Structure 1
Amino acid sequence: MATASSETKPNSSEFMEFPYASPPVRDLMVELVSTVESRLGSQLLPCSLPPDVQRYRNESGTSQASLHVRSGIPSSPIDFILGSWLHSQLPTGAALSITSLSGYLNDSTDAPNFLIELIQSSATSAVFILDLPPRRDLILHPDYLNKFYEDTELDKRRQLLQKLPELRPYMSPALFIRCAVSPTAILTRAETNEAGGPARLEEIVRENISTVAREVLGIWLDHCVGCKTAIEDDERSCLRKRDQMFKRKIMEVDLASNFPRLFGRETADRVLGVLGAVFGL
């Protein structure tokens, strides 16, 4: 089992290095995390994850990852902010690099959460996921759809990216992910192997994806965090149940199914155990 020594004790600055991300992805993630911590810092507790969860790897060192979690103070609408990066050398010889940032709100509000994830499997191919996942049924609550998605013109950001010839819609293989995102979710795959190569992919991230990501995060910070909504007790109970089911499925579909393969059972159990506590599972 690989653990962090006192000489390499992880901290937020190490997490912010994003050592395996391309330069424009690194710049974007540093900017987004810095914006969140600048805007919400007074509402967040310091990261208290164990060092061997803040930074961990498999025995061979072919898979490495970092986690950074800051929970909200009791009076805050923030449940927690979670940032991560993961890098793995695959048996095929390719390398997988994932960077993500998510913001979860608690039951003092029913406003949407925030999610961004960039998945790069080669220098010319990447998947980009950006969304404000709803916490209400949009059919039963049309005012919710209007308030957080139509009035904020979120779909215009998706339409802007859709115009780029190198981008194609991405369909997650997980049915749960496809039903959990909003109708304005940006799920797109960039392929530049025949159109500019790695330089073009970096240009798309720097000039197009970064612009949209900054705007969507701004919408979440301005219109969702701290949004005051009157929630009846029975509605709050349903909201809590929905939030817990969402977090549980994220653990099962996205993490528990992949971590043992990438990091080995012992490390996976350690990290997933801590994440389960963060998720309140």
Structure 2
Amino acid sequence: MQALSLSPPLLTSPPRSLRRKSSNTFRAPRMDRHARISSLFPPLLHRDLALELASLMESRLGSDLLPSSVPDNIRSFQNQSGASFGSLDIRYGAPGSSVDFLLESWLHCKVPTGAIDITTLLVYQNDSTDAPHFNLEFIQAGPTSLVLLLDLIPRRDLSFCPDYIDTFYQGTNVDKPRQDLEKLPQVVPYRSPSLYIRSIWSPTAILVSVNCGEGGAMQMEEIIKGTVASAAKEVLGIWLERCVGTGTGTEMGEEEQEYMIRRDRVVKSKSIEIDLSANLPRLFDPDVANRVIAEIQKACAR
């Protein structure tokens, strides 16, 4: 799980505590994703791009996804001052789908250095296929700084499965978007402080930090609209075309499938421990953070 890859230097002290909202008997109809996110969060180009990608994903998956059942107090939450707020939504895969669940996380948080915006789109697959999971995350700490984490997360030990590499990485040319991004002078590699987290990425993962320097907000906009958007759409397109649905994976024996299932469970639980449990309470009141984490743990334990 890479739902919240937070950088420690940005989190030197916690924001103010979050206040529980009182529950009302009347519940207004749920807004669609674009209206809900646009009403909750300040406009950002990376968020607009993520909304476009989420819509493309949802349109392609269609009946593979069940309607959301996430409670309203998790689909939107905020701290007492209203300066920090977030939204989490999870949609499970329908019977017969290769999708386990689709997770969307949207955060805007006040931190001592200003504000940090974190947007995550994550799709975990189930054991009907060994095709990679999909992971996209934007971490933006200002108008001229952006971290992009984009990958088709492998579900096999690649050193033992050269055919898997050929099928999902070499044969799809998924490494080209990474190469294109790393040609930009504003782009440098990003390294997670967690060695465990680093170990789950594929060899073609796009793990970069885009830094445009003082006064480079317009340049950042051009990069997001251009190379970043192109890379994200290309990788998502490859995943939707080559990794979704029954029959998309490589052949597995019973022992291989059991090993993959155990591996998926470890990756999910360990990533929650490293990313969410350690960092979300530093951004929001522990009670609210625990409620959000519990919803994600429920999805990962299926």
Category of TM-score, reference length = shorter chain: over 0.9
Which amino acid in 2 is paired with 1:106? N
**Would the alpha carbon gap of residues 279 and 9 (structure 1) be closer, same or farther in structure 2, given more than 3 Å must change?**
farther
Q: What TM-score results when the alignment is normalised by the length of structure 2? A: 0.87
Match of 2:104 among 71, 79, 83: 83
Give runs of ≥4 in structure 1 deviating > 3 Å.
4-12, 18-23
1:40 aligned partner: 61
User: How much has 1:259 moved relative to structure 2?
Assistant: 1.3
User: How much has 1:230 moved relative to structure 2?
Assistant: 3.1
1:101 pairs with 2:118: no
1:206 pairs with 2:225: yes
1:111 aligned partner: 131
- Matched residue SS, 1:76: coil
User: How much has 1:11 moved relative to structure 2?
Assistant: 4.1
2:204 aligned partner: 184
1:219 pairs with 2:238: yes
Q: Is the 8 A contact 1:72 1:78 kept in 2?
A: yes
Q: Is the 8 A contact 1:112 1:224 kept in 2?
A: yes
1:140-179 pair list within 5 angstroms: 140-179=160-199
**Would the alpha carbon gap of residues 259 and 174 (structure 1) be closer, same or farther in structure 2, given more than 3 Å must change?**
same
User: How much has 1:12 moved relative to structure 2?
Assistant: 3.7
Q: Distance in 2 between matches of 1:132 and 1:207?
A: 21
Deviations 1:125-159 (A, max 9, x none): 11011100100000011110111110111111111
Match of 2:80 among 59, 64, 71: 59
- Matched residue SS, 1:47: coil
2:4 aligned partner: none
1:2 pairs with 2:20: yes
Match of 1:197 among 216, 222, 242: 216
2:260 aligned partner: 239
Q: Is the 8 A contact 1:58 1:267 kept in 2?
A: no
- Matched residue SS, 2:160: coil
User: How much has 1:106 moved relative to structure 2?
Assistant: 0.3
1:262-273 pair list within 5 angstroms: 262-273=283-294
Deviations 1:8-50 (A, max 9, x none): 7754434442854654213211111111110111111001001
Higher relative contact order (CA 8 A, sep 6+): 2
Which amino acid in 2 is paired with 1:68? D
**Would the alpha carbon gap of residues 173 and 266 (structure 1) be closer, same or farther in structure 2, given more than 3 Å must change?**
same
Q: Is the 8 A contact 1:9 1:51 kept in 2?
A: no
Number of aligned pairs?
279
Q: Is the 8 A contact 2:130 2:156 kept in 1?
A: yes
State the identity %.
44
Query: What RMSD in Å do the two structures reach over aligned CA positions?
Result: 1.8
1:70 aligned partner: 91
Q: Distance in 2 between matches of 1:133 and 1:164?
A: 24
Q: Distance in 2 between matches of 1:269 and 1:218?
A: 34
Which amino acid in 2 is paired with 1:2? R
Q: What TM-score results when the alignment is normalised by the length of structure 1? A: 0.93
Q: Distance in 1 between matches of 2:42 and 2:83?
A: 15
User: How much has 1:63 moved relative to structure 2?
Assistant: 2.2
